[in-house]
Structure 1
Amino acid sequence: MEAILSAAAESSRDYARVRDAIRYLVAHADAQPRLADLAGALHLSESRLQRLFTQWAGVSPKRFIQQLTCEAAKARLATGEPLLPLSHELGLSGGSRLHDLFVTLEAMTPGEYQRGGAGLDIGWSVEATRFGPALLAQTARGVCALQFVADEAAGEAWLRGRWPNAALRWREGQGRALCRRLFDPLEAADGPPLALRVQGSNFQIQVWRALLAVPYGGLIGYGQLAAGMGRPGAARAVGNAVGANPVAWLIPCHRVIRAAGALGGYRWGEERKLDLIGWECARLAGAERAVWTA
């Protein structure tokens, strides 16, 4: 048990180090800082930082910073690629693919919504991830929540507020395998499609379905998302629905940014949003490089 706790603590420290590295790179992007500058700011050796950052992000700090500029974000928004393709494959094909992860989304019935989850059996746990502790809750028909939380008490409070009449059952470690599948770049992510079972209005469900079509490592503006849904005048309403997303990462609301390239809000913190976007972009860039050099 002590070994497990020690490993978890070290993983948490590594996440904090890389998170601080990302913040430094973004704050000093115009100066294109050298590895030595970054290492000095974090009080780490250059070799240690390079190894840790590359292991976590899949690319070097230099390549990472290239993926985080506003100009890069604007370029992705201006590509003109179809916003809502029929499929939403995540990752790349071939030997260097990131993962073959598909998500299906099903709405809870109006009756379940009105009854506050009465009759629902929800198993939940809080798992350590590279982006901080995450509440993972599941019904027999799929994942109903993935929330970044401060601790177990905050996770339970959120669940009870969302489904006051459901039977909530703490199940230690039930989401561990799924978190590894989602957040560990060294884990094989092959497996059956992931089913989501979410609570929301008809409009929210439409927005969340549209988000599933934004490709891995891609970015989209609020207005573009609204236009792609056939609701060009509803950017504000779309933004509200994006912000109400109950399933972080799997419904990728972190990929929605402002048209000018600014991050925009994020219910789990803008810094975490930056971490998620940067991690995806870096992994995608690393996989693309592997394809072209193979």
Structure 2
Amino acid sequence: MNVQTQEDGYHYGVMRRAIELIDRDGDGLTLEALAAQMDMSPAHFQRLFSRWVGVSPKRYQQYLTLGHAKVLLRERFTTLEASNNLGLSGTGRLHDLFLRWEAMSPGEFARRGAGLTIYWGWFESPFGPALVMGTQKGLCGVGFAAETGEEHAMQDLLSRWPDAEFVEDPMMLRPWVLTAFGAESADPGKAPLFLIGAPFQIKVWEALLSIPSGQVTTYSEIAQAIGKPRAVRAVGTAVGRNPISWLIPCHRALRKSGGLGGYHWGLPVKRAMLAYEAARAGV
């Protein structure tokens, strides 16, 4: 992995500790207090923070507060239109990351991965260690181990396609991963997605792909968008089963109340993702 993404992974470790402190002590912590808690000088902590997210620690604290989710819903809410295509080809997320995607057919999905070769590798990401999986067609799995642990993340993704053949080959995946996490050395056109799921799940994931970076939606809005307004609970389950975290942005789905809801890889990761995107979008 390149130096940039290694540094991002280290920075996420600092962010994770800061999140825990803010959760415990509130958003009134001073820069000096936060730095002291992490055994850093205020200047070094400020510099590290700003390199990771592009804003000051104080501003980032505002993004991490629980109330920020309500601000996002009020000011950065995305209304998803119920249609078959959902405008995927022109969405900001896909354009920014040079993504293209295709989905496995229902018949292929029913075979539980039989006949598929899935390559995997561990990488550093802005949100801690990331387990990435992909076929020859594109990335099919991204999981995060900062909160759950590496063994749990591995078993989680392996269980999605139990009859597939799994081959460790991080170099095969590396160009796609660099693009996925915004590395400066990434080449355009190098992060295709291969969606492996049931038809209903894929509809939900398509809707998630249409949410621009820095914006959010609700589970009920997704249910409306896919033509199943009464299926909010089923939508929530499908969001939680999204295997390609970050790139299919399930972290942008919130409860109507402004609550974060759950997150498969741990709520601190979800909060960090929302804050990371919001800071860059200037929300």
Q: TM-score, normalised by structure 1?
A: 0.81
Counterpart among 104, 108, 119 of residue 108 in structure 1: 104
Aligned to 1:122: 118
Aligned to 1:230: 227
Paired amino acid for 1:182: A
Counterpart among 244, 247, 263 of residue 247 in structure 1: 244
Residue 81 of structure 1: how far off its partner (Å): 4.7
Deviations 1:6-60 (A, max 9, x none): 99987654432222123323444453x3211221222211100000000011111
Q: Is the 8 A contact 1:89 1:102 kept in 2?
A: no
Paired amino acid for 2:93: L
Deviations 1:253-279 (A, max 9, x none): 011122222211111011111111111
What is the aligned length? Answer: 273
Counterpart among 147, 161, 164 of residue 162 in structure 2: 164
> Which protein has greater RCO, CA pairs closer than 8 Å, 6+ apart?
2
The separation in 1 between residues aligned to 2:228 and 2:160, in whole angstroms, is 28
The separation in 2 between residues aligned to 1:90 and 1:159, in whole angstroms, is 24
Q: Is the 8 A contact 2:106 2:199 kept in 1?
A: no
Q: 3-state SS of the aligned residue for 2:92?
A: coil
Aligned to 2:178: 180
The separation in 1 between residues aligned to 2:231 and 2:119, in whole angstroms, is 36
Paired amino acid for 2:92: E
How does 1:198-277 map onto structure 2 within 5 Å? 198-277=195-274
The separation in 1 between residues aligned to 2:206 and 2:45, in whole angstroms, is 38
Aligned to 1:143: 139
Counterpart among 35, 38, 41 of residue 34 in structure 2: 38
Counterpart among 268, 276, 280 of residue 279 in structure 1: 276
How does 1:69-80 map onto structure 2 within 5 Å? 69-79=65-75
The separation in 2 between residues aligned to 1:72 and 1:51, in whole angstroms, is 23
| 1:11/1:253 CA distance change after superposition, 3 Å | closer
Deviations 1:75-116 (A, max 9, x none): 32134653356231139xxxxxxx821433322123322222
| 1:48/1:235 CA distance change after superposition, 3 Å | same
**199-208 or 140-149: which moved more?**
140-149
The separation in 1 between residues aligned to 2:117 and 2:211, in whole angstroms, is 31
| 1:27/1:262 CA distance change after superposition, 3 Å | farther
Residue 155 of structure 1: how far off its partner (Å): 5.4
The separation in 1 between residues aligned to 2:5 and 2:79, in whole angstroms, is 41
The separation in 1 between residues aligned to 2:225 and 2:71, in whole angstroms, is 18
Paired amino acid for 1:90: R
The separation in 1 between residues aligned to 2:196 and 2:131, in whole angstroms, is 16
The separation in 2 between residues aligned to 1:7 and 1:194, in whole angstroms, is 18
Q: 3-state SS of the aligned residue for 2:93?
A: coil
| 1:55/1:270 CA distance change after superposition, 3 Å | same
Paired amino acid for 1:60: S
Residue 172 of structure 1: how far off its partner (Å): 3.5
How does 1:186-197 map onto structure 2 within 5 Å? 187=184, 191-192=188-189, 194-197=191-194
Paired amino acid for 1:278: A
Paired amino acid for 1:253: C
Residue 183 of structure 1: how far off its partner (Å): 2.9
Q: TM-score, normalised by structure 2?
A: 0.84
- The RMSD of aligned alpha carbons is 2.9
Q: Is the 8 A contact 2:118 2:135 kept in 1?
A: yes
Q: Runs of 5+ in structure 2 lacking a partner? A: none
Q: Is the 8 A contact 1:127 1:173 kept in 2?
A: no
The separation in 1 between residues aligned to 2:105 and 2:78, in whole angstroms, is 34
Residue 206 of structure 1: how far off its partner (Å): 0.7
Matched-pair identity in %: 40
Aligned to 1:89: 92
| 1:88/1:39 CA distance change after superposition, 3 Å | same
Q: Is the 8 A contact 2:18 2:34 kept in 1?
A: yes
Aligned to 1:66: 62
Q: Is the 8 A contact 1:70 1:262 kept in 2?
A: yes
The separation in 2 between residues aligned to 1:110 and 1:227, in whole angstroms, is 23
| 1:59/1:113 CA distance change after superposition, 3 Å | same
| 1:58/1:226 CA distance change after superposition, 3 Å | same
Q: 3-state SS of the aligned residue for 2:242?
A: coil
